[in-house]
């Protein structure tokens, strides 16, 4: 088969049935059939571009556009995650010390909105996992499951030594790479979309660590300065949230005074 043979690939939203199997008037098939017959170039992928992934979702045009941002950048050099840090983490079987209390980090323990980790405090005997990753303060913790959530956080000093499940990748940055810069690029909508594109599994998609390691991000020459800028924005957000909370408390207090006749 010639390398320029083109395959029609399109993502559709409506298939004539609801999620419960009931018939629906919403059906993209007629329009899709028209586009197929017209050989709409927007949906045509040369077979030569299909390499090691037999995953139609991966080759959808809008997904390839996102991926292209991380394959070529006209202004900044691209560096793979495996080159900016190590993904090694000590493995621990908490069950071997059944009476020891551990701080367990599962995917539900990471809040993407507040960028905080709230571990579970359990005994080793109560662990459902035989292989956990020991965390170090400053590590970048990346949830590979449901990547679109953006559960990517920096391990704080108070959680040094906590144990994370294998659904997480642990990135220990090499010297010279700014943590504040890297973590914000990883949280960006574009990179979260890239992780989702590389994910497999429909109900609870996850990106394999081997694929995550190969992904590239731009590293500008002044990326440390950009990291300081990102950090400043995060600090302002934190302060604004504090002020919002205070204003909400004032509203509640004033309403309470009126209702209770104070």
Domain that holds residue 227: 222-262
CA distance 254 to 262: 10
Q: Are residues 171 and 256 in the same domain?
A: no
CATH of the domain at 207: 3.90.220.20
pTM score: 0.82
Tell me: do 212 and 246 sit in the same domain.
no
SS3 139: coil
Residue 144 within a domain: yes
**236 in Cβ contact with 190 (< 8 Å):** no
Interatomic CA distance for residues 68 and 58, integer angstroms: 12
Tell me whether residue 39 is in a domain: yes
Look at residue 67 and tell me if it is in a domain: yes
What is the total count of domains within the chain?
Answer: 3
- Do 197 and 103 share a domain, yes or no? yes
Identify the domain boundary among 74, 108, 123: 74
> Is 80 exceeded by the pLDDT of residue 85?
yes
Judge if 10 and 112 occupy the same domain. no
Helix (H, G, I), strand (E, B) or coil at 99: coil
1 in any annotated domain: no
What's phi and psi for 113, nearest 5 deg?
-75, -45
pLDDT at 156: 97
Residue after which a domain boundary falls, among 26, 58, 74: 74
Say if residue 105 is in the same domain as residue 184. yes
Whether 92 has a pLDDT exceeding 80, the answer reads yes
Residues 190 and 217 in one domain: yes
Query: Are 135 and 89 in contact, with CB atoms under 8 Å apart?
Result: yes
What is the distance, to the nearest Å, from the Cα of residue 76 to the centroid of all Cα atoms in its chain?
22
Answer whether 205's CB lies under 8 Å from 199's CB: yes
Do 240 and 130 lie in a common domain?
no
**pLDDT tens-digit profile of 230-256?**
999 999 999 999 999 999 999 999 999
The answer to whether residue 257 sits within a structural domain is: yes
How many angstroms separate the CA atoms of 143 and 165, rounded? Answer: 10
Same domain, 140 and 181: yes
User: For residue range 99-153, what is the model confidence (pLDDT) as tens digits?
Assistant: 999 999 999 999 999 999 999 999 999 999 999 999 999 999 999 999 999 999 9
Pick the closest to residue 168 from 148, 141, 189 (CA basis). Answer: 141
pLDDT above 90 as % of the chain: 70
Verify that 87 and 216 share a domain, yes or no: yes
What pLDDT digit, counting tens, does each position of 13-57 carry?
Answer: 888 888 788 888 888 888 888 877 878 777 777 776 777 777 777
Residues 136/97, Cβ–Cβ less than 8 Å? no
Q: Which helix (H) or strand (E) holds 16?
A: strand 15-17
**Residue after which a domain boundary falls, among 74, 101, 123:** 74
CA distance linking residue 171 with residue 184, whole number of Å: 14
């Amino acid at each position: 088969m010639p390398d320029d043979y083109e395959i029609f690939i399109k993502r559709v939203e409506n298939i004539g049935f609801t999620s419960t199997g009931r018939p629906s008037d919403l059906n993209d098939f007629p329009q899709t059939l028209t586009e197929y017959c017209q050989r709409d170039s927007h949906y045509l992928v040369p077979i030569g571009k299909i390499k090691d992934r037999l995953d139609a979702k991966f080759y959808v045009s809008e997904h390839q556009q996102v991926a292209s941002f991380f394959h070529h950048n006209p202004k900044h050099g691209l560096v793979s995650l495996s080159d900016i840090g190590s993904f090694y983490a000590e493995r621990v079987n908490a069950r071997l010390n059944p009476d020891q209390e551990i701080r367990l980090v599962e995917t539900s323990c990471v809040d993407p909105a507040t960028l905080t980790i709230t571990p579970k405090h359990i005994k080793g005997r109560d662990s459902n996992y035989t292989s956990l990753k020991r965390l170090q303060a400053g590590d970048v913790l990346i949830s590979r499951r449901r990547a679109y959530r953006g559960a990517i956080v920096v391990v704080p000093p108070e959680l040094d030594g906590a144990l994370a499940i294998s659904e997480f990748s642990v990135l220990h940055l090499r010297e010279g790479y700014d943590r504040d810069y890297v973590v914000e690029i990883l949280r960006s909508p574009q990179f979260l979309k890239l992780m989702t594109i590389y994910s497999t599994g429909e109900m609870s998609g996850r990106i394999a660590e081997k694929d995550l390691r190969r992904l590239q991000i731009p590293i500008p020459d002044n990326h440390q300065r950009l990291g300081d800028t990102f950090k400043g924005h995060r600090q302002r957000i934190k302060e604004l949230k504090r002020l919002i909370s205070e204003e909400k408390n004032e509203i509640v207090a004033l309403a309470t005074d009126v209702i209770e006749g104070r």
